[in-house]
Amino acid sequence: MSNFIVMQNATHEEEISGGYMWSPQKNKNGNSNHAYERMATIKAGNKIYSCYDQAIRAVGIATSDCYIAEQPHELQEKNLWSDEGYKVDVDYKILKQPIMIRDVWGEMESDRPQKYSAFQENGRGNQAYLFPCPEAWTSLFDSFLDEDSLEAEAEAELIEDGEIGEETFATSSYEQGEYRVSNKVAGSTNKRGRVVSQQQLQKDLKRRKIIGDIAEQKAFEYVKKKVIEVFGEEYGEQVEHVAQTLGDGLGYDITAFDYLNPQSPPKPIKIEVKGTTSTSTGAVYSISYPELEKFIQYKDEMWLVRVYGVGKNREMKMEIDNDFSSYNSVSDLLARKYAYIPSTIDVYGTRVENNK
């Protein structure tokens, strides 16, 4: 299977935190090049070595085939590329100890490709985005990797201060989601199952809980501030973080008032919050069946809020989806609103065959 080296000097922060790779299809002069064309060849399961500041600093696995996508908002701000491009979803792991190219160039030099090499004869990186990674380099890089060298993002690394600085509204990502779903389903038969230790599972669950708690708190603070601005202190004091005060089994996290459509008296709303460290609106999130039932039960007063950049950026973004009124059941939601893959199977009984 092909492996690649991506040069991310200008984009490593956005792409690694966002869980993706993105390149334009052509440069601003309308010309293509080998690096952009190579993006289109990436398949789910390809290994990606992330290089910036003259070192391999992260290793990723492509979790999707390459697909056509507009330039992510956070890259548009750099004003470096045209908007039409290629995107690949990537699961990155940051290395605790980066592999400095100068330290291993003596072992790499003899296997340097004559064409389209990621590195020059002196070991300095070449100016392009994506390069093939020779098998000998793959073996060398992988020899530095073990469980201790991959940075398990510790709780202390999550930033708990900061606030939501931007409010947006959900736009349709259904077609792109369907494309990703079809790729994952098609590729699942070729993938080996990954066995996760109980210790790692508990660590992941604990981290998700921390991210969720931060997202809820930031959304609560932001919504309360907006309610006060629109309706005054009296109603601001009634905004409640019910996941904390009443428990997290309600199917929503915050009760507030609809400051987007002011009326007298204010319309009560219920808010379910989903948080992610990613800054990409294409990040996958999970919804439970009881939460979906609440979306239908309270469809005229329900908001789904996604908070991006949790624990990674001091300024986060909040996206609102309050479009539930036209759906009549959970099955209707799943048929018409969401592109999804069921991630768990609830077992209520087991048949045991008598083979004696």
* Residue 241: strand pairing partners: none
pLDDT of residue 355: 62
Query: Between the CA of residue 263 and those of 154, 230, 243, 305, 355, what are the distances in Å?
Result: 45, 10, 26, 21, 68
Contact 141, 4 (CB under 8 A): no
Exposure string for 241-273, b = 16+ CB within 10 A, e = fewer: bbbeeeeeeebbbbbbbbbeeeeeebeebbbbb
pLDDT one digit per residue (tens) for the chain, 356 residues? 689 999 998 889 889 988 999 999 987 777 788 999 999 999 988 999 999 999 999 999 998 999 999 988 888 887 778 888 999 999 888 888 889 999 889 889 999 999 999 999 999 999 899 999 998 898 888 877 754 455 444 444 566 778 898 899 988 878 767 765 765 555 444 333 444 456 656 776 787 888 899 999 999 999 999 999 999 999 999 999 999 999 888 889 999 999 999 999 999 999 999 998 777 676 778 888 899 999 999 999 999 999 988 876 678 899 999 999 999 999 999 999 998 888 777 787 888 877 65
| Planar angle of CA 14, 158, 4, nearest 5 degrees | 35
| pTM given for the model | 0.59
Q: In the numeric block, which tokens belong to residue 79?
A: 């004003």
* Residue 158, Ramachandran bin (φ over 0: left; ψ between -120 and 50: alpha; else beta): beta
> Contact 234/253 with Cβ under 8 angstroms?
no
